[in-house]
Amino acid sequence: MKSPTVQLIAGLAFTLLVIGGHAVFTLRSVWRMREVQTSIIDRNGLASLQLIRIQNDLNSLGLAMRDMLDNDSRYPLTAWGPPLARIRQNLEDAIAREAALAQGNRPAEQTVFLTASFADFWRTSDEALRRAGAGDQRGALAMVRNTLQPRQEALSALTARLLVDNHDRESRASEQVRDIYSEIERNSYWVLGLSLALILITGAGLIRSNRSLFAQLSQLAEQRRELAQQLIATQESTLRAISRDLHDEFGQILTALGAMLRRAQSLAPDTRFREQVQESTEVVQGTLERIRSLSQSLQPVILEEQGLAAAVEWHLAGFERHTGIAVRYDGPQAACELPAAKAIHVYRILQEALNNVARHAEVNEVGVSMQASPGEPGLRLTIEDHGRGVTPASRPGVGLAAMRERAELIGGRLTISPASGRGTRVCLELPLDPTGGAAPALEAHHV
Amino acid sequence: MSLTRRQLLSGMAGAPLQDSGPGFRLVDVTQAAGLEFRHNTGAYGAKLLPETMGPGCAFLDYDQDGWLDILLINGQDWPGHRRSLSTMKLLRNNRNGTFSDVTRAAGLDVEMYGMGVAVGDFDNDGFPDLYVTATGQSRLFRNNGRGQFTDVTTAAGLGGREAFSTSAMWFDYDRDGLLDLFVCNYVRWSPQQDVRCSLDGRNKSYCTPEAYRGDTCWLFRNRGNGTFEDVTAKSGIFDPSSKSLGVAMLDPDHEGWPSLFVANDTQPNKLYRNNRNGTFTESAVGQGVAFSEDGRARAGMGVDVGDFRRSGRPGIVVTNFDKEMMGLYEQAQGRYVDRATAAGVGTASRDRLGFGCLFGDFNLDGHLDLAVLNGHIDDTVRNVGRRVSHAQVPHLFLNNGQGNFRDVARDLGAEFTSPKIGRGLAMGDFDRDGDLDLLVTTNGGAAVLYRNDVSTARQSLRFRLEGRKSNRDAIGAVVQVFDPSGRQTQMVKSGSSYLSSSDRALTFGMGTIPTADRVVVYWPSGRVDEVRALAAGKTYHWVEGQAARALGWR
């Protein structure tokens, strides 16, 4: 059986590698995108705002010059000094800001041309105002019409072109951002696919090894059970054989010995000898009774002859006698006869449970109840004491395991739980076959 | 025992910690006072731009009998569509709550397409003269002191000027003791140049000013000999891109030299700082008052200036179009910030189109409140926007004592809250009971006189200043009143609001404080007069360089 750990670690490592690679790629893309966003799009947007401001001011200049040339104005051209100065101040501020933002984005000659054009415009307008101030209204107006107006129009056109350039640059940057986005998207799909495949492969391997592990486990459990049951069956048949031998062989020998001794006694002349034989007869009688009792306890004949209920009552009486622990017995109302092959296991479970009580519970009373009803739950045997109980520390011994095996062997269910109050409650539930013809599994295992 | 700061302050201001109510009512006394007036827009269906803009109004004491009279500006029928004669109306106060029409006797039954009026004693003879703005030729009427006015437009050198003039203002920008004249011009418009605009795509509607070219405002210097010099160009005021509707004077840095705020419609507002040498420098953009906080030029209509936060630094209110909100500019770190929304007037004014606006202490609690008239320019507006109607409810924002406002118009009586197409707004105490009454004009409708009935025991302290070295109207004089609640500052003004002229007497709310500790007057001449322990509940006549003399009322 191969351990799946190596496979698992490999899968995990590959997945981490894929995710890590993706993270690095995504971060690099985001950095690139931020670069494009801040250095091109944002700066460009701000520059465009300034260009719009410039255009606005140029438009105001255009309107101002149109008004200058309207000859219905009652005010001299010199009156335009402050308004033009205001527009100029705003314009120069916008131009400076725009230049700072557009740095590097524009050919140097374009910048030079722009600066020169504006400088030229203001020089001319100053000159026009100076002429107007000196009284040459017509000359000043001619300058406005012939020089300033065309220049203003040219500057407007140039600003418009710069705006278009900015827009183009922005579009290209946006395209770049779009490309980066689709790269990330593509990459994400790859990562998703790879991760899914890795997870699938690792998962499938895991499931397979898990399944074979479980199969092995249940096989082992089955083997162990069979072994245990064989052990029990062997034990039972051995006990039965010993019991029978004791009863049949030694019983007959002792009975014969007893009869011979009695005959010898009747023939004996001497009183003293007769007394000796009498004593021997009594010893033989006692041994016989003990062998019978031993045989009975190893393999109670009463079980086979009178059934479970009688055997239980017989055993309880013996238990009381031997241990001095009082038994409160609640016997079955109805008949609850089981095939002997099953009944022996019920009997053994009772025996073991009571043994445990006697050995561990430190009580002087135990409650036993056996109830029977046809069908479910069938036979219910309960042994309950209020002794020390099953502590977490107490290790389940071989006895308990054997009880469980026996219960399982006859298709019953054994539960061991704390009794109400304190102590231990052992309960065996066994469905009663209404036909009573359940084939006892035990015979098959006879050795 | 502990007092909260708020309790302490209101205790000092003498205001009982009470009333959810505003503490006063505005009662419509138009009928009882006999104000019979209907504004003639001249409209005959062509929807010509000036029809929707007027008219203005004024509280003035033209006969100097101590009782405020009323002047209502009127339009006229358009040439070729004559139906009836309509003129402005001068209504003389009968001192019993009623008014008599004295237009004809006063020589003001002059037909003109009038827009607004500025009241000021330009010849320092003690009687207020009138500059009536118009679409066409505006006119200067000199008060001869015997109840009659003479048209001196041409003689004063103000003739030969056809324009779409709106608000005007008298002020002494060069501090020579003579009132100079500032005139707002709107756009270059004539019936022949009228452009067709439509709100709903079918019917012609009134255009916004974007359809027309702007026009420069005018500044006329008073030569002192009854004539004026056009210093528009020389002073740096010249700016044909402006579309001006409202003007107010202010002295943000207490220099004694009046500066100008001009509200422009769809163009950046202008702030002309007085250079103290006869010229002005425009600095609205740098000062933060040219645009809204999001950088848009709004449709500025009316404007007023007042120290509503009692900081000694006056704030500026500008009424705008609907969906733009009013602007409420306050000085912060050397420039102005629009705090309209934070101060509670922004959201309230979002669905209104505002015109006349005035700071005044209407409940006499010592804090300047704010009255605003609303009304749309076009009756087809209801076809396009459900939230905005032609006739609109006015605002009356009460100052909570911290410079924040709450609209209490709904609590002032149904008469005040009836929707109207409001335009001109002026204030003054026509019944001499010590509080500020309101005069309202509506476009194409009646004029309404609201008597203020203060329902609390609060009193006011009022001043009627008279300059000697300064201009006789004392326009530009700053009065500071000190009492335990702190300091109040007001300036004697012309201009402000929209097309209208308020009484130039100052009204300080005193709450229940019986006496002002100290009152200081900073005269335009530079002189400073001060008196101590002045009893509230009186109007004082204060001549420059002399002690204040109680006129008393009631």
- Nearest of A51, A44, A52, A47 to residue A173 by alpha carbon: A44
Q: What is the pLDDT of residue A103?
A: 77
Q: Which is it for the CA torsion A250, A253, A256, A257, positive or negative?
A: negative
Interface contact flag, A76 B239, Cβ < 8 Å: no
pLDDT given at position B14 = 43
pLDDT for residue B435: 95
Q: Which residues of chain B neighbour A75 with C-beta distances below 8 Å?
A: 216, 232-233, 238
Residue B239 is nearest to which of A73, A83, A90, comparing CB atoms? A83
Least confident of A88-97, A365-374, B467-476, B528-537: A365-374
B15 pLDDT tier (thresholds 50, 70, 90): very low
Are the C-beta atoms of residues B69 and B93 closer than 8 Å to each other? yes
Three-state SS at A21: helix
pLDDT value at A371 more than 70? yes
CA distance A148 to chain B (A): 19
Selection from B516, B520, B541, B535 nearest residue B463 by Cα: B541
Phi, psi of A310 (to 5 degrees): -65, -45
Residue B427 binned pLDDT confidence (cut-offs 50, 70, 90) = very high
pLDDT higher than threshold 70 for residue A2: no
Chain B residue at shortest CA distance from A76: B233
pLDDT tens digits for A61-70? 999 999 888 8
CB-based contact, A79 to chain B, within 8 Å = yes
Is-contact A327 A271, C-beta < 8 A?
Answer: no
> Nearest CB to A79: which of B233, B241, B285?
B233
Angle between helices A81-102 and A43-69 (to 10 degrees): 160
Nearest to B238 among A60, A63, A82 (CB): A82
Whole-number CA gyration radius for chain A: 57
Residue A1 has pLDDT above 60, yes or no: no
The band of B159, judged by pLDDT with boundaries at 50, 70 and 90, is: very high
Q: Are strands A424-432 and A413-418 parallel, antiparallel or unpaired?
A: antiparallel
At residue A111, does pLDDT exceed 50?
A: yes
Q: What's the token pair of residue B465?
A: 């200043």
pLDDT tens digit string along B40-56? 999 998 889 999 998 99
CB contact under 8 Å between A64 and B282, yes or no, is no
Mean pLDDT score, B278-305: 92
pLDDT tens by residue, A272-292: 888 888 888 888 888 888 888
Which pLDDT does position B4 carry in this prediction? 45
Model pLDDT, residue A446: 34
DSSP B498: S
Residue A327, C-beta contacts closer than 8 angstroms, at least 6 positions apart: A316, A319, A320, A365, A366, A367, A368
Instruction: Give me the pLDDT at residue A394, please.
Output: 56
What was the pLDDT predicted at B553? 44
Q: What pLDDT, on a 0 to 100 scale, did the predictor assign at position A243?
A: 82
Amino acid at the residue A195: S
Range in A133-137, B214-218, B263-267, B379-383 the model is least confident about: B379-383
ipTM surpasses cut 0.85: no
The Cα A372–Cα A353 span in angstroms is 19
Cβ A80–B236 below 8 Å, yes or no? no
Q: Across the beta sheet with B280-282, what order do the strands follow?
A: B244-250, B259-264, B270-274, B280-282
Instruction: Give the DSSP H or E segment for B422.
Output: strand B422-428
Strands, sheet with B459-466, edge to edge from the N-terminal-most edge strand: B506-511, B459-466, B538-543, B548-550
pLDDT of B466: 95
Q: Which of A105-114, A365-374, B314-323, B539-548 has the highest mean pLDDT?
A: B314-323
A90/B241 CB distance under 8 A: no
Cβ contacts (< 8 Å) between A81 and chain B: which residues? 236
Which tens digits make up the pLDDT trace of B130-155? 999 999 999 999 999 999 999 999 99
Average model confidence (pLDDT) across chain A? 84
Work out the percent of chain B whose per-residue pLDDT is above 70: 94
- Looking at residue B426, what DSSP letter applies? E
Question: Is A67 close to B285, i.e. CB distance below 8 A?
Answer: no
pLDDT-based confidence at residue B436 (cuts at 50, 70, 90)? very high
pLDDT for position B26: 94
pLDDT higher than 90, residue B473:
yes
Distance from CA of B213 to the nearest CA of A (A): 9
CB contact under 8 A, B241 and A63: yes
| pLDDT(A224) > 70 | yes
Mean pLDDT of B213-217: 93
CA distance B181 to B258: 13
Q: Of B12 and B440, which is predicted with more confidence?
A: B440
Calculate mean pLDDT across residues A156-162: 91
Mean pLDDT is lowest, of A399-413, A431-445, B77-91, B275-289, for A431-445
Does residue B511 register a pLDDT over 50?
yes
Lowest-pLDDT choice from B2-6, B186-190, B241-245 = B2-6
Q: Which residues of B touch A78 (CB under 8 A)?
A: 233
Phi, psi of B314 (to 5 degrees): -65, 145
Proportion of chain A above pLDDT 70, given as a percent: 92
Sorted by where each begins, the domain ranges of chain A are: 5-206, 306-432
CB B356 within 8 A of CB B440: yes
pLDDT of A438 reads 41
Residue window 117-156, chain A: list those with CB within 8 Å of chain B.
Answer: none
Q: Give me the mean pLDDT over the A163-174 stretch.
A: 89
Q: How confident is the model at residue B9 (pLDDT cuts 50, 70, 90)?
A: very low
Write down the pLDDT at residue B227: 96
Residue B553 contacts residue B433 (beta carbons within 8 Å)? yes
Inter-CA distances, A177 with A49, A173, A182, Å: 22, 6, 9
Residues B382, B386, B388, B392, CA torsion sign: positive
Name which of B239, B262, B267 to mutate to probe chain A: the one with the most chain A Cβ atoms within 10 A of its Cβ.
B239
Sequence-ordered alpha helix ranges (H) in B159-304: 284-287
What is the predicted pLDDT for the residue at A447? 31
Residues from chain B contacting residue A79 (CB–CB below 8 Å)? 232-233, 238
Contact with chain B for residue A72, Cβ under 8 A: no
B239 to chain A: which residues are within 8 Å by CB? 82-83
Q: Is the predicted pLDDT of residue B393 greater than 70, yes or no?
A: yes
CB B56 within 8 Å of CB B85: no
User: pLDDT tens, B102-135?
Assistant: 999 999 999 999 999 999 999 999 999 999 999 9
Say whether B286 sits in a helix, a strand or coil.
Answer: helix
Inform me whether the pLDDT recorded for B12 exceeds 60: no
CATH topology of domain A306-432: Heat Shock Protein 90 (3.30.565)
pTM of the shown model: 0.72
